[in-house]
Structures are given as C-alpha cells and as structure tokens.
Amino acid sequence: MRTTVKSIIEKYNNDKTRLMDILIDVQKEFGFIPDEAVEVIAEGCGLSKVDVNQTLSFYHFFTKKPVGEYAVYLNNSAVAEMKGFASVAKAFEEEAGCAFGEVTEDGKIGLHETACIGMSDQEPAAIINNVVFTNLTPAKVKEIVGQMKAGKDVKEMISAKGDGKNANELINAEVFNNIRKKGEVIFSDYEIGTALKKLGTMNPEEVIDEVKASYVRGRGGAGFPTGLKWEFCRKSEGTRYVLCNADEGEPGTFKERVILTEVPKLLFEGMAVCGYAIGSKVGILYLRYEYKYLEAYLENVLAEMRASNLLGKNIQGIEGFDFDVRIQFGGGAYVCGEESALIESAEGKRGEPRNRPPFPVQKGYMDSPTVVNNVETLCSIVKIMNKGSEWFTMMGSRESAGTKLLSISGDCKYPGVYEIEWGLRVRDMLEMVGAEDVQAVQVGGPSGVMIGPKDFKRTICFEDLPTGGSIMIFNNERKLIEDVVTNFTDFFIEESCGSCVPCRAITVLLRQRLQKIIDGNGVMSDIDELKDWAEKLKVANRCGLGQTAGAPVLTTIENFRDKYEALVQKDIDFDSGFDLEASVQASCAFVDRTPNL
Amino acid sequence: MSKAIVATTSLAGCFGCHMSLLDIDERILKLIELVEFNKSPIDDIKTFTKQCDVGLIEGGCCNSENVHVLKEFRKNCKILISVGECAIMGGLPAMRNNIPVEECIQEAYLDGPTVGNNTDKILPNDDELPMILDKVYPCHEIVKIDYHLPGCPPRADLLWEALVALLTGNELKLPYEVVKFD
C-alpha cells in the first residue's frame, strides 16, 4: 500500500497544496483513506498527520472507513424527498440488506446519504462510484442492486443515455440537460475563439472597460460587478490567478452542470479572456466532486483547445498571451462555494472561509491576487466580447443586465434549465414551467427566500429577488414546515464548517424548536423565539453560509406565519415538550423495571 | 405588607447553592424579616403548606423525582428562579449526557472500580426508587423558569441582592464579574 500511496503523491510532485487531488486518488484506490496512507501522505508532503486528517475529515467523500465496493450516495435534498426519496431509500436498504450509513457485511455495497448532487430536475438520483443514476424508482433500484451483487461494472448499469453531449462517449451518462429555453447569451450560437482573436486588438485595460460597461454582475448569487473585480485584481501586485467557481452546491441548482456538458469551451474561453484582462497565466476550474463523471470529457475539451491554440502559449498568435486551465476537484462540501473557502480548498486545506479583508482580489489563491468568478459569469464575458457591452445592457432590468440561467425543479411540468432575461415576473415564470396550484416558490435555494402567491408579482433580478439560479416550486399538497424547512435546516447543520459558534449551534437550536412545533408541543412564543435566533445568525457569522442559515426559518415565518400558528397550541403559553415517559424508558428497560409514572 | 413566602429545593445539585445562601451571614436575620420560608431544606418543611411567592431551584433534573418536585414548585410558586449552573445548564451532572444511560448504570453498579462485590449483579429497580432520566435536563427544559441566577455557586451577595431586588421591586444590578468568571 505504501508504494501505491507514494506513487500517487509523486504524481503531484509531493506538493502539499495538491492534497485534495492526493486524497481523491487514495480514496478511489482503496475505497477509504487508511491511517497508514495518512502517515505516508504526511511524510511525503511535509505535513503533520493532523494536517492531513483535518483536511480529509472536512469533506463528505473522504472517509476513514471503507465506503463499500459499490458506494451508493443517494441525494436527500428537499426536491428528492418530494420525488420519492423515501421509497427509493427503502428499496436500497431492503435489496442491499443494510441500512443507510452502513456497508454490507461482505463490504460490497455501502449506502450513504448526500446533499443535492445537481440533478434536481431528475430526482431521485444517486451517484454510485462516480456514475450518476437518475429518475430512480424502487423497481430500478432492485435491478441496480441485483447487478451490484452480480459484480457488474457500474458504467454498464445505466438504463438510458442522456440527451445532448451526455451521450458523448467520454461522458456516457444517464443525465438529462432539459434545456427548456435558450437565451441570447449562454446558449446562443457563436464561433469558438472569436473573443480570443479580438483580444489581439485590445489591451487588457480596454477589456476590463468593456466588461465594466456591460454592467455584468456575478452570477453565483452575490452579484458583485465583474469588471470592478477584475480591475481590483489587475491593480494588485503578484502572480495572479483566475479561479472559476463550479462548486454549485446550493440545493436546486444544476445549470453549471448543463453549461459544462454542452458549452464547456465557452467557459474556458471566458477564463482565458479573464486571464488576459488581469494578467494571469493560470486558471483553475474548481469543480464539485459530484460532477466527477465529467472529468474525462472536460480534460479532452481542454486538450482540444490547447491543440487549436485556444489555450497554451501565445494564444491565437497574441505574443505573450499564455494561459492554461487545470481542473481542481472538491471533496463534497457546500461551503466551498464561498470564494475564500474555495480558495482554501484549492490549496489542499479545510474549506473554511477566511476573514475578509483582505479580499481574494488582493490576497487569494496562494496569497496572490485572484479573481473568483462563477461559471455563468465567465461564459457571459465571451458573448460580451463578441457582441459588445451595449448589446448586453439592452437585455435585463435596470440593475441587472443580460440573461440568467434558472435551474427550476419541484412541482412543475417542465423542470430544467431556462435562460431568461433578468426581470421576469415570478407569475410568468410559473406559467412558463407549467406549475399549477402553487403554494410557495423557493428563490435562490435554501439560503434564499421562500415566497407565497402574494409575492408572485415580484421579479427575478438583483434589485428585487436575486438568485444564483435555484428555483424550487412547491404545490399546495406540500408541507412547508414539516418537509421543506426542516430539510433545509438539516442541510445547513450538515454543511456548517463549524468555525463560527452561532452557525454551528443556532442551526441545531432552530431544528430542535421546529421539531417541538411539529410534534405539537409548540406555543406562540416559540415562533417569535425561532425568529429571534434566526436573525442572530445574520449578524454573528463570518461567511454567507452562516449568515443565511436562518433564511428558511425567517422567510417562512415572514411569508407563511399562518402555517406555524396552525401547528402551535394557543390555549397555553408555555410547554417545554418534556416527555417523562420517553425519558425514563431506557434506564427502566436496562434495570428491568416497569415505569411507574 | 405581609411577608413574601419563599420555597427552596436542591434537585440534581450539590447543595452548594444552598450553602452560598447561608453565606449571606448575619443578613439572614434581615432576610427573615423580609420573608417567610415554606418548603425548604432550611426549615425542613417537606411539603408545601401554602402558595409561595418565590421558588429557588438548585440543580437540574436527573431523575423522575426531580421532575415531580420541580413541577410541584411550578404549581406552588408565582416566580421560579434557576439558581446556579446545574439548574441553568445541567452543570457537572450533565457530563453524563454524552454517554448512554445504560452505560452509566453499568459503570456505577457493575463495572466501576469502586463497585466492590456486587456478585449477584443487582441493579436498583425497586418501585420506590426514582427512575433515572435518559440525560440530565436543565430546569427550563421541563417547566417555565422566570429568572436565572448564574454562578457555581452564585455568590452570596448576588443571591441576597437578587432576593432583595425581587421583594422590593428594584432593579437588580448584574455587574460583569457576576456573570463572567475567568
């Protein structure tokens, strides 16, 4: 084993900043990361064992125990639950003969739950040994487990090939693009390399001016003006880096998966334009581990681009314009979508957000000036270069220029990816996707807002309802508090990095209080206290995850207070929910005694 | 004005908070002028004989008897105060909360180094005994608690001032040193 691990480390030049890659390879090789491997890695990279362990313990897909020859990671997001998670999970347990969180005795099949895997429009979905299975049903599960027991290759187990490039032999996945509406920016026709050729006639400052004039803002959710970010970075001294954030972990988003499948060259060209503008030679695509099935395909795309001088040295004949991209995989952690956590992770460390300032444009990757841009943002740049900033500003709303990709899922006829102009009314959107009898819409994922019909006249744009792209629709049959708010809150508990106490502790307090209300032990003051606690999260945490972890509770109390009130007792003003009978049960059973209450 | 009536009890505590109350020294004479004690270890009244104004609770709840007593206090006292760390947060007894109660009993009666010769492996299960809770609960997780007095134990001055403030209707001053100890 030591030699295998050693050769993996050597592949990455014993570089401790490539610890993520090393751990990914070791995990893949052994199905877990044994203590002995940790020792070898620490020795080889000049780290302590604690350093290695703290990185590996941070990520969901790195484990110190075997995950099973076939490691099933079934998504437990709110949308998955709506689409039949429970029956699919039960089928897995019955067929495999072990519970979730366990591995079968022979070590063959391991069942694990995982957060949103970016397949919300085709749930329930699972990843088994990096192969994606979508639209699962108990019958389908039975077949899959049967094949696992027979020792079949996972790649041969998929029942259908997806649409578009999902059927490409390098992807070959049972994943569907479901592109329902193509817009003028991301999915419009264009000639690859046009933007890069144009750079020959422009100096970097002119490129930045053009981006600034387009008013394009970050598509990841925060909406920072991209041109300004580039300018700040260019003005900072040092080796500069372009990082593309493709961590899309916000439950309900999957648009970046579709971009990476259908138009990856658009993205890489955008990264190169950014490289030219800020004076960087190195680009890193930080890709969430859940999309590992795209690796071979994307590496091939990069090779093709190098071959046609769209990446590499003196790109498109522009003297001194060198730029290349490497792919950095994550290890399963939502918080790594936060830019400073993403940088930490790309450096091989725990994905804990940094204190800011300094901002990444001043001190980012390797403490050097770094632009971190979302996939969709960088794609938009290429079209802005091709067609001009004025063309771009003609689309969208007052403060939100251009188009936006929405990943729409939940209770609607046509879930999938829609490229819309900013400023679309929620009501029009619901009509577009064939959603009827709508009770609530979650705009911007769990960290966004949940709105009800009275807000359906509002518009999707930075100045009204901003979103990184996640839209989940709930019809009138859904139980918002019992099924959705609890699911979102569980998600934040699981994904909190634990660094800030309020984020680590208050999320759990919220969950307990929600359960108390759901169990029928709630009183009116519980609703106000929930609100109080959730509001404290906004001001007492370092990063966006912690600050928005109370959003599901807060926005539902604001917009659906009646649902909470319907669940609480109104005739009393205090109920602790303490259950004496339940709390003495364990000890009485152990000492062989009948409880006398 | 008639005297206020005070009741006190020690649940899963060490009686340290009660000792601290006695540490008000000669002020106890003044206290007697202000209040009348009902159910309390101080005067050894075992059951409530009348409705009380203030109940002071030391300790959290580790068994069914604690819960019954606490609920009695809630019924019989207008104002209930959690006194000290154990009542407020569970305190030292709550250190067992991370260990399954079965393991705790096993260690205490069968495996522990101080067990001696329990060769018949007897576990306490007489109906007369209180039943052990799955974990130790702070008082406010069982009944509504109106005030919390911090400390381990709360210093005598704090107890004195809190009682005086409550009985005279004046505001209680809680200086930094009273709530922060390190």
Nearest C-alpha of chain A: how many angstroms from B135?
A: 8
Q: Is residue B179 pLDDT above 90, yes or no?
A: no
Question: Please, how many CA atoms are within 13 Å of residue A202, restricted to the half-sphere of its CB?
Answer: 19
Interchain CB distance below 8 Å, B100 and A578: no
Chain B 51-70, residues with CB within 8 Å of chain A CB atoms: 64, 67
Interchain CB distance below 8 Å, B133 and A597: no
ipTM of the complex: 0.92
Nearest C-alpha of chain A: how many angstroms from B108?
A: 12
Considering only the beta carbons, identify the residue of A576, A591, A593 that sits closest to B141: A576
Considering only the beta carbons, identify the residue of B67, B134, B144 that sits closest to A587: B134
Both A365 and A329 in one domain: the answer is: yes
Residue A173 lies in a domain: no
The pair phi, psi for residue B153, each rounded to 5°, is -85, 170
Amino acid at B118: N
Helical (H) or strand (E) element with A313:
none
The pair phi, psi for residue A378, each rounded to 5°, is -65, -35
Q: How many domains does chain A have?
A: 5
Cα separation, A360 vs A320, whole angstroms: 25
pLDDT of residue B181: 62
Beta carbons within 8 Å of A153's beta carbon, 6+ residues apart: none
Q: What is the CATH number of the domain that holds A487?
A: 1.20.1440.230
Amino acid at A514: L
Residue A119 lies in a domain: yes
Phi-psi region of A188 (alpha: psi -120 to 50; beta: other; left: phi over 0): beta
Cα separation, A290 vs A254, whole angstroms: 11
Cα separation, A125 vs B103, whole angstroms: 40
Tokens 């206090």 correspond to B73
Q: What is the CATH number of the domain that holds A450?
A: 3.10.20.600
Residue A244, judged by CB atoms within 10 A of its CB (0-12, 13-18, 19+), counts as buried
Specify whether the CB–CB gap between A11 and A30 falls below 8 A: no
Per-residue pLDDT of chain A (597 residues; tens, 9 = 90+): 899 999 999 999 999 999 999 999 999 999 999 999 999 999 999 999 999 999 999 999 999 999 999 999 999 999 999 999 999 999 999 999 999 999 999 999 999 999 999 999 999 999 999 999 999 999 999 999 999 999 999 999 998 899 999 999 999 999 999 999 999 999 999 999 999 999 999 999 999 999 999 999 999 888 999 999 999 999 999 999 999 999 999 999 999 999 999 999 999 999 999 999 999 999 999 999 999 999 999 999 999 999 999 999 999 999 999 999 999 999 999 999 999 999 999 999 999 999 989 999 999 999 999 999 999 999 999 999 999 999 999 999 999 999 999 999 999 999 999 999 999 999 999 999 999 999 999 999 999 999 999 999 999 999 999 999 999 999 999 999 999 999 999 999 999 999 999 999 999 999 999 999 999 999 999 999 999 999 999 999 989 899 999 999 999 999 999 999 999 999 999 999 999 999 999 999 999 999 998
Out of A475, A502, A519, pick the residue that ends a domain.
A475
Closest to A315 measured CA to CA, from A191, A204, A193, A210: A193
Both A221 and A76 in one domain: the answer is: no
| A586 interfacial to chain B (CB closer than 8 Å) | yes
Both A190 and A330 in one domain: the answer is: yes
Specify whether the CB–CB gap between A360 and A141 falls below 8 A: no
pLDDT of residue B111: 94
Q: Roughly what angle, to the nearest 10 degrees, separates helices B27-34 and B156-168?
A: 30
CATH architecture assignment, domain B4-96+133-179: 3-Layer(aba) Sandwich (3.40)
Interchain CB distance below 8 Å, B64 and A597: yes
Both A314 and A344 in one domain: the answer is: yes
Domain boundaries, chain B: 4-96+133-179
Both A382 and A415 in one domain: the answer is: no
Interchain CB distance below 8 Å, B125 and A586: no
The pair phi, psi for residue B91, each rounded to 5°, is 60, -155
Specify whether the CB–CB gap between A162 and A176 falls below 8 A: yes
Interchain CB distance below 8 Å, B105 and A588: no
Q: Which structure tokens are listed for A583? A: 């709390």
pLDDT of residue B182: 57
pLDDT of residue A570: 95
Specify whether the CB–CB gap between A161 and A133 falls below 8 A: no
Q: What percent of chain B has pLDDT over 90?
A: 77
Cα separation, A48 vs A38, whole angstroms: 9
Both A134 and A278 in one domain: the answer is: no
| A524 interfacial to chain B (CB closer than 8 Å) | no
Taking one residue from A and the other from B, the number of pairs with CB-CB distance under 8 angstroms is: 55
Q: Roughly what angle, to the nearest 10 degrees, separates helices A264-278 and A295-307?
A: 60
Domain limits for position A356: 183-393
Nearest C-alpha of chain B: how many angstroms from A493?
A: 19
Both A427 and A379 in one domain: the answer is: no
Residues of B in contact with A576 (CB under 8 A): 140-144
Both A44 and A129 in one domain: the answer is: no
Helical (H) or strand (E) element with A542:
none
| A574 interfacial to chain B (CB closer than 8 Å) | yes
As a three-state string, the secondary structure of A336-358 is HHCHHHHHHHHCCCCCCCCCCCC
Specify whether the CB–CB gap between A480 and A474 falls below 8 A: yes
Both A6 and A138 in one domain: the answer is: no
Q: Is residue B177 pLDDT above 90, yes or no?
A: no
Instruction: Give the confidence band of B1 by pLDDT, cuts at 50, 70, 90.
Output: low
Q: What is the CATH number of the domain that holds A371?
A: 3.40.50.11540
Other CB atoms within 10 A of residue A3 CB: 8
Residue A590 lies in a domain: no
Out of A107, A127, A159, pick the residue that ends a domain.
A159
Cα separation, A168 vs A164, whole angstroms: 8
| A308 interfacial to chain B (CB closer than 8 Å) | no
Both A47 and A83 in one domain: the answer is: no
Beta carbons within 8 Å of B162's beta carbon, 6+ residues apart: B81, B147, B149, B154, B172
Look at the alpha carbons of A479, A480, A481, A484 in this order and tell me if their dihedral is positive or negative: positive
The DSSP output letter for A475 is E
As a three-state string, the secondary structure of A142-160 is HHHHHHHHCCCCHHHHCCC
Interchain CB distance below 8 Å, A593 and B101: no
Interchain CB distance below 8 Å, A584 and B123: no
Cα separation, A304 vs A512, whole angstroms: 53
Considering only the beta carbons, identify the residue of A584, A593, A596 that sits closest to B133: A584
Instruction: Give the confidence band of B21 by pLDDT, cuts at 50, 70, 90.
Output: very high
Both A468 and A485 in one domain: the answer is: no
Residue-by-residue DSSP string for B138-164: -GGGTS---EEE-SSSPPHHHHHHHHH
Both A81 and A51 in one domain: the answer is: no
Out of A475, A499, A526, pick the residue that ends a domain.
A475
pLDDT of residue B172: 86
Residue A263 lies in a domain: yes
Interface test with B, best of A526, A590, A594 (most B CBs within 10 A): A590
